Amino acid sequence: MVRKLYLMRHGETVFNLHNKIQGWCDSPLTKKGKEQARAARAYFKEKQIDLDAAYCSTSERASDTLELITELPYKRLKGLKEMNYGELEGESERLNRHLTPKDAETFYLQFGGESSNEVKDRMTRTLTSLMENEDHEHVLAVSHSGACFNFLREIQDPMKELKKGFGNGTLFVYDYIDETFTLNEVIRQPI
C-alpha cells in the first residue's frame, strides 16, 4: 500500500519578509503566511484528501500554519525543526546569501549551528518513524525550507526543485512504500 506524506514549508513570517535568518529562532506568520496556510487547507479539501495524522516542528510558525490547515490533533516534534544557524540566528540573510548548498553543508558549524547532514539525518529518521505507524496513510508534516531541502537531498538531487523555488507554503508530496520515499509532486503557492 502506498502511503502519502505531505511535507510543507510553513507560511511566510515576519523574518521571511525582512530577510532574516530564521532557524531555531521564531517569528509570527504574516497575513500572507496565514493566506498560504488557508490555501493549503483548500487544496486538501478540493482534492478530498482525508488526513489521518498531523505533525509540525516545535516552532510556533509551523504550528500556527498547521492549525490553519487542519483541525486534527497534532504533535510538535523537534525532529522536524529547521536547521540551527547558531550565532547567525536572527541576522540578515545577506550573511549567507552567496552560499551554495555544498558550501552550506558545514558553514554554520563555525557559529555553533548544525551541518546540513545532521538536519538531513534527523528529518529522515523522524519522517520514516512517522510513516511506519500503521494508521498513517495520509500524513501532514509542517516544517521549514532548509529542513525540507535537506530531507529531499536524502531522496534525490534537490537542485532541480531548488531552482524552481522553495517558497513559503510549498507542499512536497511523497509516496512512501517499503520504507522508501519517492517525490511525487511539488505544489508551489500561487500567492
Specify the pLDDT at position 101.
87
Beta-bridge partners for 181: 176
pTM of the model: 0.96
Q: Which residues of 94-120 are buried (b: 16+ CB within 10 A; e: fewer)?
A: eebeeeeeeebbebbeeeebbbbebbb
Q: How far is CA 75 from the centre of its chain?
A: 15
**pLDDT at residue 190, as a whole number:** 66
First to last CA, the chain: 34
Whole-angstrom distance, CA of residue 141 vs CA of residue 118: 19
Write down the pLDDT at residue 113. Answer: 97
Which residues are the active-site residues?
Answer: 10, 82
* Cβ neighbours of 43 (radius 10 Å): 17
Phi-psi region of 66 (alpha: psi -120 to 50; beta: other; left: phi over 0): alpha
Written in H, E and C, the secondary structure of 95-151 is: HCCCCCHHHHHHHHHHHCCCCHHHHHHHHHHHHHHHHCCCCCCEEEEEECHHHHHHH
pLDDT at 66: 98
Domain that holds residue 132: 3-187
Q: Which three cell numbers stand for residue 56?
A: 509540525
Domain count within the chain: 1
pLDDT at position 98: 82
* CATH number of the CATH domain containing 170: 3.40.50.1240
Per residue of the chain (191 residues), give pLDDT as tens: 899 999 999 999 999 999 999 999 999 999 999 999 999 999 999 999 999 999 999 999 999 999 999 999 999 999 999 999 999 999 999 998 788 888 989 999 999 999 999 999 999 999 999 999 999 999 999 999 999 999 999 999 998 998 998 899 999 999 999 999 999 999 997 65
β-pair partners for 177: 180
